[in-house]
A and B are shown apart, each in its own frame.
Chain A
Amino acid sequence: MSETGKIIFDTASRIFEDLSTAEVINAAENGQWPEALWQAIVESGLTLTWISEEAGGVGADMLDGFAVLKAAGGAAVPVPLAETMMAGWLQAKAGLPVGSEPMSVVIGGLHWDGEVLNGSVTGIPHGRNVKNLVVILDSEEGAIALCCKADDVAVRPVAGLSGEPWDTLEFKGVKPDQLGALQDGVDEAAAQALGALIRCAQASGAMAQALELTIQYSMERVQFGRPLAKFQALQHSIAAFAGQVAAINAATDSAAETLARNNRVDNDTWVEIAAAKTRLEEAVNEGAAVAHQVHGAMGFTYEHQLHHLTRRLWSWRDEYGSDAVWSVRLGDEVLKWGAEALWPKITAVSNPR
């Protein structure tokens, strides 16, 4: 991590620790916007981590942004930081000015007639909480980004598994403020992939934090006269959980590094992301199950903080495509390689040229 990166990461971690508390997260689920947390995030420039200095950003490495997202996942931050970072990266790729107000992204699913947007989209993260929406569309003239005011869009509130807004948005003749042609091959599929990788990063952090809570609890909770940690059955479950945490972090790092290096979602990056998002599902399934099993009934209560992590994990494994979606796409790609190119393709990642 670069010096700048370290400063950004430490700042982010401090803000999350102080302001993304269990009370704040629960209050956010009940509809109370965590203004203090959001303000601290904006003032420290975290929303601009992926924006170059020329475009008004902080000049950090893209990987620093992914480290922030891991920390945000571990802290279950109940604000659209990831969505705003993603929207900003897409705005920059379309040559548009990047805002710091809360934003979310809509990928496809709308009709653009050259003047206005029409249609309805579901599952938009933080739809009701954002000021602006960045819409990514593959049009006949190529992929474009359109920025709209959220106030011009009708919101039907829906809660996701995580309790965070996962809203349905109705666009009825919405006229965008700004529009730009996307560069560097960014299109709907690329935006989808970026979203998938962002969820992998958040989930990597949340998995790591859930593991820490689980280890901690296993050493504190005494039953049959000894801590849970001393029972071999639980040692083995938790060791397997650790393996899943290690795997999803490694898969995510690999994809994030490829994206940072290539600065676009080219085929290599896409394959890396497809592998990471495919790998996420088993990691979440196994990890969340062990976390809850070890925490017992205590961890099943709303009062306990574990659900802030596990509910998000269950949501993130599906957002931007589940294993069922990504593994089939990756499988198609692998079949295109064929038997002879399979191994050379797998080894190519360590020879980035």
Chain B
Amino acid sequence: MSVTRFRFPFVEMPEAAIALREEVRQFLAEERENGGFVPMADCWASAMSPEYSRKVGQRGWLGMTWDKKYGGHGRTFLERYVVTEEMLVAGAPVMAHWIADRQSGPQIIKHAQPHVRDKVIPRIVAGECFCAIGMSEPNSGSDLASVATKAEKVDGGWRVNGTKLWSTGAHGCDYMITLLRTSPPDEKARHEGLSQFIIDLKSPGVSIRGIADIGGQVHFNETQFEDVFVPDDYVLGEVGGGWKMVVGELALERSGPERFLSSFIVLQEAMRLLVNDPSEKTRQVLGEIVAKIKTLRRMSLGIAGLLEEGASPEMEAALVKDGATLFERELLEKLRAILPQHVLASSSGLLPAVLRDGILRVPSSTLRGGTNEVLKGMIARQLGMR
């Protein structure tokens, strides 16, 4: 019934997704009970557990939407949506497989050589192969087209030199989907001469150095390539077609539930404390937070529904990411303000830990995957202003 230029249609969960949700909830409850994991804030970018990812793969919850003929499970976007949101809400250690399942796998299926695809995809689906993103560099953040890491043509492949930065989880990954310059930069055609490669991180000449974030945790990395040889068949798609691919890849990752549920575990744990004698302010804050979560979820789910129909709702996805990531900060700020101060001073218990981690990870939510300033520029372009 929308009369505006934005579409976020109602999505009714199919029976299969409803049943699946119960299955996932049970799995998560059992895992937690058996000590399989301790919930973490921002788990998709901070909690890496190959063992856990393997279990998820064994349950059939990785590569869910990918075609069965490539080793995927041929299920719907909505079923995948249900699995991811349940994992996020539980604070489960999903980081190892997150990138491969969300964006690298679909790119490999779409653009890789068949034998490379057949080698990698079944392992991703099994939860035994993880991927990192190699886009940013020391001198290329938001301005991605300025990447300088080079691939030079050599006999049978390419020789790679340069440095990639902020590659979350690279230290535990098998491959990096890497954006490289394959011909010299041309100021008149900035988006040309870039190509994507699948680089085996065990290759000689690759060195990965962890970088501590403001909380002292090492989740992202600096990855150096020194005369690294990449065989021809590990080029992803066409040489020179990297930019278009990257843009598509970023659009895929924009509007998922991880954009507003990263700190849900903090809210849930805080509720246990806040139910006792809540002040008017507490009641108001909880009402406002839940109103926002419900609205964001409606929007994010609407986009999953549009993707299911084969549409590409780029503007809507950018709007969701902007609003959702700003909400992540607001959520923690508002919760902190209504919680007793002793919570942050406490050294034991789940709430103090996730609250502290959540607050210290807030700055990253409006940076990762493209800053909100870049997003707003894209929205303005879609609105016809640029």
List chain A positions with a Cβ less than 8 A from chain B: 1, 5, 9, 63-64, 66-67, 70-71, 74, 204-205, 208, 211, 215, 218-219, 229-230, 232, 235-236, 238-240, 242-243, 245-247, 249-251, 253-254, 256-257, 272, 274-276, 278-279, 323-324, 326-335, 338-339, 342-343, 346-347, 349-352
Contact = CB atoms under 8 A, between A and B. Distances in A.
B340 interface: no
The 9 closest A-B pairs by CB, nearest first: A327-B287, A331-B283, A330-B287, A331-B287, A235-B380, A339-B271, A239-B379, A239-B376, A229-B385
Given A63-B1, A278-B291, A350-B13, 9 more contacts: A219-B385, A235-B376, A245-B6, A247-B299, A327-B288, A335-B278, A335-B286, A342-B268, A343-B264
B172 interface: no
Given A240-B376, A247-B299, A254-B295, A328 B287 contact: yes
A315 B223 CA distance: 56
Contact of B4 (A249, A323, A327, A339): A249
B146 interface: no
Nearest to B280: A328
B275 interface: yes
A243 B319 contact: yes
Contacts of B271: 334-335, 338-339, 342
Contact of A204 (B4, B295, B299, B384): B4
Nearest to B3: A70
Contacts of A71: 3
Contacts of A278: 287-288, 291
B3 to A, nearest CB: 5
B298 interface: yes
B268 A330 contact: no
Contacts, number: 182
Q: Give the residue among B6, B85, B89, B297 with the most A Cβ atoms within 10 A.
A: B6
A350 B379 CA distance: 28
Contacts of A242: 6, 319, 379, 383
Nearest to B283: A331
B283 A332 contact: yes
A242 B6 CA distance: 9
Contacts of B380: 229, 235-236, 238-239
Interface string B279-322: 01011111110111111111101100000000000001001001
Contact of B283 (A256, A275, A328): A328
A253 B377 contact: no
Contacts of A352: 12
A350 B301 contact: yes
Nearest to B286: A331
A63 to B, nearest CB: 5
B162 interface: no
A5 B1 CA distance: 9
B329 to A, nearest CB: 14
A351 B21 CA distance: 11
6 contacts: A211-B4, A229-B380, A239-B380, A279-B291, A332-B283, A347-B21
Given A215-B384, A235-B385, A328 B376 contact: no
A334 B286 contact: yes
A275 B383 contact: no
B272 A339 contact: yes
Given A215-B384, A239-B376, A339-B275, A250 B8 contact: yes
A246 B286 CA distance: 22
Contact of A330 (B290, B299, B375): B290
B116 interface: no
A251 B201 CA distance: 45
A129 B373 CA distance: 48
B297 A246 contact: no
A208 B280 CA distance: 33
A66 to B, nearest CB: 6
